[in-house]
Chains A and B, each alone.
Chain A
Amino acid sequence: MNKGNDTQATTSFAKRFRNELGLIVALVIVIGGTIGANLLMNGSADYLNEPVRNLEDILHQTALLGIFALGAAIVIIAGGIDLSSGSMIVFAGSICGLVMLILAPKGPDMLPDPTNVGLFVVCIAIGVTMVVGFMVGTVHTWLITIVRLPPFVATLASLVGLRSLAKILNQAVTAQLGNQVTTVRADDATFAYLSEWWVALVIFIVLGILCWFLMNGTVIGRHLYAMGGNEEAARLSGIRTDHLKWLAYCIGSVTAAIAGVLYTAKVGAANPSTLAVGYELNAIAAAVVGGCSLQGGVGLIPGVMLGVLFLRVVIDSVAKIVRAGSDDYQGMIVGFLVVLAVAFNELRRQGSGAKKSFFPGILGSITIPILAILVGTVIFVLTQKTQGVTVGIVAGIIIGLLLGGLKLTESARSQRT
C-alpha cells in the first residue's frame, strides 16, 4: 500500500517537473556536445581550458536575463504579456544614471562629476528607479483593467515610448546640468560593484526563490495561475483580478528596472540607442522555453530559471563552435528554440505525434522548399569560410528530398485511412 503511494508520488513528481527534467538533460547534452565538437575540430575546448571564466560569464549573462525573465514569466502565467521590458531596462538605467548625475558633486569645471557620488546617492538612485518601475507597472495595469486596452497594446506602447522618452529625458536633463548628451554616464566607483558577476547571480537566485514561494506557496500565486487559466471564472469566484494584474505587471516592470540598474552598472552608462534592444523577446522566449504557455495559467518558476540558463548556454555554445560574436547568432538561436519548445509542447498536448501530417496540401508542398532553402542558407553561413557555397547547396537539396519523401509517405498514409 505504502509502496504504491511512493511510486505514485515519484511519477507525479516526474510528471510535474517533466519540463524541468527535460531541460536539465538538454543542458548536459548541449554542454557535452560543445566540448566534443571543440575537441574534434580544434583539439581543445574552451570550456575545459577556462572553466571558471566561462562559468562566471554564462552565469552573469543568465542572471541578468533571468531577473526580468522571471517578471515576464509571471505576467505570462497570469494570462497577460509584457512587451516593454527591453525599453523598461534602458529607461530604468537612464533614470538611475540621471539621479546619480543630479546628486553628484560639482567638479572643477562646474559640471557634475558622477565618478564618485558615494553609497548614499547610489541607494537613492536605485530606490527612485524601483519606484519608477512600480509607476510603469501601475500605468500598464490602469490601461489594461480600466481603459481596457489589450495587454499587448498597452505594453507595446511602452516598448516604443519608453526608449524614446529615455533618450529625450537624458538630453533634456543633461542640458540643464550644462552638457547635453544622450548617453548618461554611470561610472561611479560604488555603483560599479554592481557589475560583479556574483551580484547579479545572487539577486537572480533570491528573486527566483521569492517568485517560487509566491507562485507555489501563497494564495496570491494560486489565484494568479487561476486568473491566467480562466480569467472570467476567476473573477466570478470572487478573485480580485484587477489587483492581481496590478501585482503581476508591477513585478514585470520592477524586475526589468532591477535588470536595468545592473546592465547600466555593467556597461558604466545607459545608452538608449543600444542598450537592451529586443531583450523583451528574449525574456518571453526564455519563459516559453521554460514551460510557460502564452495562453496563461501554465508554467513553473524553476522551469523559467532553467529555460533562461538553457537559452544562454545554447547561445554561448554556438559562439564557441562558430567562433564568432555570439550576438550575431543570438536572434536565430532564440527563434529556433522558441519554435522547437512550443512545437514540442503542442505535439505532446495533441498526443498524436506519430499520426500527424506535417506537410498536408498545398501549404505543405510550398513549405518544403522554403525549409530546404532556409537550412541550406544556414549551413552555407556556417561553413562558407572553409567550404564555399557547395556544402550549403548540397545540404539544402538533401533536406528538400528528405521532406519531400516524408510528404509522400504522409499522403500515402492518409489515403489509406
Chain B
Amino acid sequence: MADTPIISIKHVTKRYPGVVALDDVSVDIRQGELHSICGENGAGKSTLMKILSGVITEYDGQIEVRGESVNFRGTRDAEACGLSIIHQELNLVEELSAAANVFLGREHTSSLGLLNNRKMNAETSELLKQLECDVHPQAIAGSLRVGDQQLLEIAKALSLNSEILIMDEPTSALTESEVERLYRVIDHLREKGVTILYISHKMDEVFRLSDRITVLRDGKLVKTLEKEETTPREITHLMVGREIEEIDLGDSRQVGDVVLEVNNLSLPWPGHARAWRLKEISFELRRGEILGIAGLMGAGRTELLECLFGASEETPAGKVLLENQLVRFRNPNEAKRAGVAMVTEDRKRLGIFAQMCVRENISMCTLEETVTSGVISRKKEAEIVDDSVARLSVKTAGPESSITSLSGGNQQKTIIGRWLLTKPKVLLLDDPTRGVDVGAKAELYRLMDQLCREGIAIILTSSELPELLTVSDRILVLAEGRMTAEFDRSEASEAAIMEAATESALPHG
C-alpha cells in the first residue's frame, strides 16, 4: 500500500531514573518526506531518535518500519533496515582516515581477506564528490573541519544505501556557507527518494526544509502539523507550551567594580592548522554582572572558561587580573582558592560523582571547612549541605540519596551549590541548562540573577541564544577562537549574534 508510513512510532515511552524522557509518543513518518521534530532541549527529540536508530534498545511501545514491527538490538540492526543517524555529537573514529570511517565495520576486502583500500578510497571519493566535499579519502577524520566531518557521516549513510536518514541538529556547528551546502545535499538526497527526519529547534531551517513538523514538549507529543498549515510562531508557541515568562531579570541590577580583567588571552593548539584555540581575547567582568559568551560548537567557549579556571590542557598566554592582582592558575585548586568557581559543561562526565550521594557531592569542594581535629565532622557537613539544599531548593528525597536519582536540573543545582559554598567572586557557568527541563531552566535563571545581586560576577556560556539574551548584561561572541563582537544587552539580537558567530576568522597567515 502506497500510504503505509515508512516508520510508525506507536506509544513509545522511555523512563530514566527520576525523569520520563518520552511519554507515550506516537508519530507516523511518510515515505519520502522531510519530517522535522521540534522541541526544546530535554523535550525528548534525541531520545526518540536514539530509539529509532537502535542506540537505545530498552523502551516501552512499538516501532514499525514499512509496516513491520522491529526491535533493534543495536545500530547495526537499524542500518540493516535502512535507517541511519547523523548524531549531533559526531561518531567518527578520529584517528582513522575518511575512507576507513565510511566503511567502518563493513570494510571491502580482497579475495585473500585483506583490506581493499583502493576500492574503499575510490568509493569514498565518489560519495564525497556527490556531497560537494573536496576532502581526500585518506585524510585523517580528526583533522577535518566539523562541517566536513558531518558530510563524512552523511557519506557513510549513503554508502549504506540508507532510505531513512535521521539528522540530529546538523547545523549547530556549521558556518553559513556550510549550512547552505548541507541544504543542497539534503535537496539532492530527497530527489533520490530518501526520507529524512530532521531534528532542530531553529524555525528558519525547519520551515525552509520540512513537509511536516512534529512538536515534542517535556517528553510528550504535542502535535504533528503540515508545514503549510502552520507558522513559525505557532510552532515556537507549541514548543514552549506557555508564553515564555518574561522574567526580566537584568534591569535593576547594579553593576559594581571590575573584578576580572582579561588581556590578550591566547591558548595554543599544538599540531593543529589553526595553531590557536583562542586568540587575543580581552574583556572585563564587573561585580554583579552576567557576561554571556556566544559562539558555535568549537568556537572556544569552553576553552575560554577553562583558561580562566586553570583547567586548560596547554598554558594560556596573556594576562588575567583578578581584583587587580595578576593571576596565573596552574590548576583548578589554585583557581578555587583565589575565588573562581566553574560549573562544567558535561555534567555527567565532568561534574557529578555518580557513586556518591547528594551530601558528598555538595560538600566535595569545601570538606576542609568541616574538619575538626583531622576528622570530617558529619554534623557540620550535614549542616552546610542542608543549607545548600534549602537555599537552592534542590528536589531530593534527602541528602543521603544517590545523586543519580535526581533530575538533570536538580543535579545541576547541587553542583552549583557545591561551588557556591566556596564563596566565589567569579562563577563560570558552562552551558548550565543543557539537558535541563524548561521549568528548571527558569529556576536557574532566577538563581543566577539572585547571585549577581549578592555581588558574584558570572560568566555564562550557552548554546541557546534566547537564554543568553534573557540572562546576560553583555554578550561576547566567539568565532573560531577569536572574539568577533561584543554587545550590550540593549543592542543584542539573535540575528546580530549569529552573524558575528559565523563570521569566518581572518584569513590564515
A residues apposed to B, CB below 8 Å: 12, 213, 217-219, 222-223, 225-226, 229-230, 232-240, 297-298
Asked if B156 is an interface residue, CB under 8 A from chain A, the answer is no
Asked if B69 is an interface residue, CB under 8 A from chain A, the answer is no
Given contacts A218-B374, A218-B375, A219-B371, contact A226 B332 (CB under 8 A): no
Is A297 a contact of B355 with CB atoms below 8 Å?
yes
Given contacts A219-B376, A238-B332, A238-B333, contact A233 B368 (CB under 8 A): no
What separation, in Å, do the CA atoms of A232 and B342 have in the docked complex?
A: 13
Given contacts A218-B376, A237-B365, contact A226 B353 (CB under 8 A): yes
Given contacts A217-B376, A235-B311, contact A222 B368 (CB under 8 A): no
Counting chain B CB atoms within 10 Å of each CB, the highest count among A12, A219, A234, A236 belongs to A236
A–B Cβ pairs within 8 angstroms, 30 of them: A12-B400, A213-B375, A217-B374, A217-B375, A218-B371, A218-B375, A218-B376, A219-B371, A219-B376, A226-B353, A229-B354, A229-B355, A230-B349, A230-B352, A230-B353, A230-B354, A232-B349, A233-B349, A233-B351, A235-B311, A235-B331, A236-B311, A236-B332, A236-B342, A236-B351, A237-B365, A238-B336, A239-B364, A240-B331, A297-B353
Is A237 a contact of B354 with CB atoms below 8 Å?
no
Is B356 a contact of A238 with CB atoms below 8 Å?
no
Is B356 a contact of A229 with CB atoms below 8 Å?
yes
What separation, in Å, do the CA atoms of A222 and B376 have in the docked complex?
A: 9
Q: A219-B376, A222-B367 are in contact. List 16 more A-B contacts (CB 8 A).
A: A219-B371, A222-B376, A226-B353, A226-B360, A226-B364, A229-B355, A232-B350, A233-B350, A233-B352, A234-B353, A235-B332, A236-B332, A237-B332, A237-B418, A238-B422, A240-B331
What separation, in Å, do the CA atoms of A24 and B345 have in the docked complex?
A: 44
Is B360 a contact of A239 with CB atoms below 8 Å?
no
What separation, in Å, do the CA atoms of A233 and B336 have in the docked complex?
A: 14
Residue of B nearest to A213 (CB): B375
Q: Which of A219, A229, A235, A238 contacts B353 (CB 8 A)?
A: A229
Asked if B335 is an interface residue, CB under 8 A from chain A, the answer is yes
Asked if B344 is an interface residue, CB under 8 A from chain A, the answer is yes
Please name all residues of chain A whose beta carbon is closer than 8 Å to the beta carbon of B309 when the two chains form the complex: 236
Residue of A nearest to B375 (CB): A217
Please name all residues of chain B whose beta carbon is closer than 8 Å to the beta carbon of A229 when the two chains form the complex: 353-356
What separation, in Å, do the CA atoms of A229 and B472 have in the docked complex?
A: 35
What separation, in Å, do the CA atoms of A291 and B342 have in the docked complex?
A: 33
What separation, in Å, do the CA atoms of A229 and B351 have in the docked complex?
A: 11
Is B367 a contact of A223 with CB atoms below 8 Å?
yes
Given contacts A219-B371, A297-B355, contact A236 B350 (CB under 8 A): yes
What is the CB-to-nearest-CB distance from B453 to chain A, in angstroms, rounded to a whole number?
Answer: 26
Please name all residues of chain B whose beta carbon is closer than 8 Å to the beta carbon of A222 when the two chains form the complex: 360, 364, 367, 376
What separation, in Å, do the CA atoms of A240 and B350 have in the docked complex?
A: 15
Q: Which of B335, B360, B376, B400 contacts A238 (CB 8 A)?
A: B335
The 3 lowest CB-CB distance pairs between A and B, nearest first, are A238-B336, A219-B367, A238-B333
Q: Which of B331, B342, B368 contacts A219 (CB 8 A)?
A: B368
Please name all residues of chain A whose beta carbon is closer than 8 Å to the beta carbon of B376 when the two chains form the complex: 217-219, 222
Counting chain A CB atoms within 10 Å of each CB, the highest count among B309, B332, B352, B365 belongs to B332
Given contacts A12-B400, A240-B333, contact A233 B353 (CB under 8 A): yes
Counting chain B CB atoms within 10 Å of each CB, the highest count among A219, A232, A238 belongs to A238
Residue of A nearest to B365 (CB): A237
Please name all residues of chain B whose beta carbon is closer than 8 Å to the beta carbon of A237 when the two chains form the complex: 332, 336, 364-365, 418
